[in-house]
């Protein structure tokens, strides 16, 4: 049998049928690769045969524009298959003419008709007399179908998991985009999930998935996901009076930010009253917390408590301006009595120890009282994002509302459960915050307040009422500062005075869309919010509601 030997330094092959010659070559540094074939005596010298080739996979007559791969197999009588060379010629668009030793050829397809020819050559220079040839065409590949049902979720507040639906045969890969910037490639079209670990709790991200192939791409609908860490449910809030839902004829007589009692002074809390009288009514702990301050005779405040509420680990509270914190403080002022009753225990005012005494949601913490100022019995309720031990109570009215004081009723509305909804309250102050809604009436409206109507003090929202004579042209405009793109429920407030029309017309404008005409029947409403619909708003558009 004939042997093949290889010298790795000289990169040289040697061939022999003599064992003695093989041993000599081995002594010169050649490596014996063993017997490669056998010689059969025919009475004359052996005849070298040319190589031969066959397709491993039969090529197709038509391909979609993409990367195309051809495979073949070859044999030869004297030359090992790994030592054969192949001349590959492909005609047409993106033509090729190369020599290689691979038995596979990968090509980026060009559109149109093509002919592929592959010819093998052995070590003696003999060519395959019957080279492989194949004619075929390449046609445009359809665009991939856009991924659908893109969803995002987070179970650990450290990752956001994206998932989507795509069963499209023309999709080659997916590209992930976050906030309109490329994030990652997924080369396998059968993988339809991605884990984003470079995220921060409290931030909002926009995601989009792109299906891609040789012809182009299509995008999924974008989604917006806020890594909230979860709005606190265990320590969610109820209302401290009219418990738990602020019912049983309770109302906000002097809301946060109102200027009814002192001209040009903003009210720092909410004064909660009950129709028919509220002196001695029970006040309940709105959530689980710790008493941090108590006073049984504070100047201007009377008896009062400050309770801190802390969200469990991994959760937070959402404040009306969109900020998120793990702790919030509530002031309960003008109390008649202070005590803690719940869980089978009763603590008097003297037994309450600040920073140690805890309360549970629904426990009784006191009763509604009054102060000698003559404002009458009510619960003065405040909500703070921070606590100043050197001046724990602050003031009830300000020229400029402090940035750490928020509307307590709005805070409670936004931290009751894990529903993910966010209530945007209308305020008629706009000094230290951008405000979600800004109200602009024209000069043809007349404003009155509840204190101008003592026999019927509750009028419009925030105790304001604007009215205009029926024979005057007047309009009012509410401009919306939308924090995040999405669907929002739109409400209008119907006062309990002078709103008699059955068809009050409003024009809703959302960017370039509109106006959309809406109407409200307020004739049977009484100081309440009326939902006029759910609408999609974009934060980068001009959005407003017009009443004419």
* Non-local CB neighbours of 20 within 8 Å, separated by 6+ positions: none
CA distance 214 to 109: 9
Q: In what order do the strands lie in the sheet with 543-547?
A: 437-441, 476-480, 543-547, 504-510, 513-520
pLDDT confidence of residue 334: 95
Name the segment(s) of the chain with CATH classification 2.60.120.260: 436-548
pLDDT confidence of residue 302: 92
| 413 φ/ψ angles, rounded to the nearest 5 degrees | -60, -30
pLDDT confidence of residue 347: 95
pLDDT confidence of residue 533: 84
pLDDT confidence of residue 369: 94
CA–CA distances in Å: residue 6 to residues 9, 40, 125, 348, 394: 9, 24, 19, 100, 93
Beta strands in 222-277 (DSSP E): 223-226, 250-254, 266-267, 270-274
Residues of the chain with pLDDT under 70: 1, 38-46, 156-157, 201-202, 228-235, 259-264, 313-314, 322, 372-374, 417-439, 448-465, 469-472, 496-500, 513-514, 526-527
CB atoms within 10 A of CB 149: 12
CA distance 415 to 234: 10
Residue whose tokens read 């052996």: 46
Scored b (16 or more CB within 10 A) or e, 119-144 reads bbbbbeebebeeebebebebeebebb
CA distance 320 to 391: 24
CA distance 488 to 535: 5
Superfamily for domain range 148-226: Immunoglobulins (2.60.40.10)
pLDDT confidence of residue 114: 93
| 21 φ/ψ angles, rounded to the nearest 5 degrees | -65, -35
**Termini Cα distance of the chain:** 106
| 364 φ/ψ angles, rounded to the nearest 5 degrees | -80, 135
What does CATH list as the number for 52-139?
Answer: 2.60.40.10
CA distance 103 to 100: 8
Cα of 449 vs its chain's centroid, Å: 42
Name the segment(s) of the chain with CATH classification 2.70.70.10: 229-415
Which has the closest alpha carbon to 489: 380, 413, 415, 387? 413
Cis, bond preceding 515 (omega within 30 deg of 0):
yes
Which has the closest alpha carbon to 283: 237, 239, 349? 239
Q: In what order do the strands lie in the sheet with 104-108?
A: 52-55, 67-75, 104-108
Scored b (16 or more CB within 10 A) or e, 391-409 reads ebbbebebeebbeebbbbb
pLDDT confidence of residue 499: 65
CA distance 145 to 359: 56
pLDDT confidence of residue 49: 84
Superfamily for domain range 229-415: Glucose Permease (Domain IIA) (2.70.70.10)
Name the segment(s) of the chain with CATH classification 2.60.40.10: 52-139, 148-226
Which has the closest alpha carbon to 225: 159, 131, 300, 324? 159
Pick the CATH number of 436-548 from 2.60.120.260, 2.30.30.90, 2.40.30.170, 2.102.10.10: 2.60.120.260
Structure tokens that stand for 106 in this block = 């990968």
- Torsion-angle region of 519 (φ positive above 0: left; ψ -120 to 50: alpha; else: beta): beta
């Amino acid at each position: 049998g004939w042997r093949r030997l290889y010298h790795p330094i000289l990169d040289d092959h040697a061939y022999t049928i003599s064992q003695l010659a093989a041993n000599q070559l081995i002594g010169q540094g050649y490596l014996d690769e063993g017997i490669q074939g056998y010689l059969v005596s025919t009475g004359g010298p052996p005849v070298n045969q040319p190589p031969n080739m066959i397709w491993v996979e039969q090529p197709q007559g038509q391909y979609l524009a993409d990367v195309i791969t051809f495979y073949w197999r070859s044999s030869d009588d004297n030359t090992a298959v790994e030592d054969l060379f192949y001349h590959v010629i492909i005609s047409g668009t993106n033509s090729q003419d190369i020599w290689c030793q691979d038995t596979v050829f990968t090509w980026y397809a060009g559109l149109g008709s093509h002919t592929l020819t592959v010819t093998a050559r052995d070590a003696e220079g003999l060519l395959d007399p019957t080279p492989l040839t194949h004619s075929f065409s390449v046609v445009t590949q359809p665009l991939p179908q856009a991924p659908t049902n893109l969803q995002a979720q987070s179970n650990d507040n450290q990752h956001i998991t994206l998932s989507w639906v795509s069963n499209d045969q023309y999709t080659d890969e997916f590209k992930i985009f976050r906030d309109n910037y490329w994030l990652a490639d997924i080369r396998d079209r059968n993988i339809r999930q991605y884990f984003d670990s470079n995220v921060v709790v409290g931030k909002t991200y926009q995601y989009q998935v792109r299906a891609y192939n040789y012809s182009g791409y299509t995008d999924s609908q974008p989604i917006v996901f806020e890594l909230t860490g979860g709005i606190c449910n265990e320590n969610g809030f109820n209302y401290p009076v009219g418990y738990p839902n602020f019912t049983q004829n309770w109302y906000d007589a002097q809301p946060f930010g109102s200027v009814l009692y002192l001209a040009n002074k903003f009210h720092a809390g909410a004064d909660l009253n009950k129709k028919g009288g509220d002196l001695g009514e029970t006040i309940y702990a709105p959530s689980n917390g710790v008493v941090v301050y108590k006073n049984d005779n504070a100047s201007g405040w009377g008896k009062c408590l400050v309770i801190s509420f802390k969200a469990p680990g991994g959760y937070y509270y959402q404040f009306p301006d969109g900020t998120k914190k793990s702790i919030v403080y509530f002031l309960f002022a003008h109390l008649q009595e202070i005590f803690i009753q719940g869980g089978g225990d009763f603590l008097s005012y003297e037994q309450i120890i600040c920073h140690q005494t805890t309360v549970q949601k629904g426990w009784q913490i006191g009763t509604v009282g009054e102060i000698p100022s003559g404002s009458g019995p009510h619960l003065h309720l405040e909500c703070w994002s921070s606590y100043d031990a050197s001046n724990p109570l602050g003031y009830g009215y300000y020229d400029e509302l402090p940035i750490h004081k928020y509307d307590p009723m709005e805070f409670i509305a936004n931290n009751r459960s894990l529903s993910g909804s966010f209530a945007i309250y209308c305020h008629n102050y706009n000094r230290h915050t951008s405000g979600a809604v800004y109200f602009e009436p024209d000069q043809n409206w007349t404003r009155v307040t509840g204190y101008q109507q003592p026999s019927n003090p509750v009028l419009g929202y925030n105790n304001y009422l604007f009215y205009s004579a029926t024979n005057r042209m007047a309009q009012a405009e509410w401009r919306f500062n939308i924090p995040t793109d999405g669907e929002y429920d739109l409400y209008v407030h119907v006062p309990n005075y002078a709103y008699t029309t059955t068809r009050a017309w409003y024009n809703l404008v959302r960017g370039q869309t509109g106006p959309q005409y809406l109407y409200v029947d307020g004739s049977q409403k009484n100081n309440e919010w009326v939902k006029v619909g759910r609408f999609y708003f974009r934060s980068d558009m001009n959005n407003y509601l017009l009443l004419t």
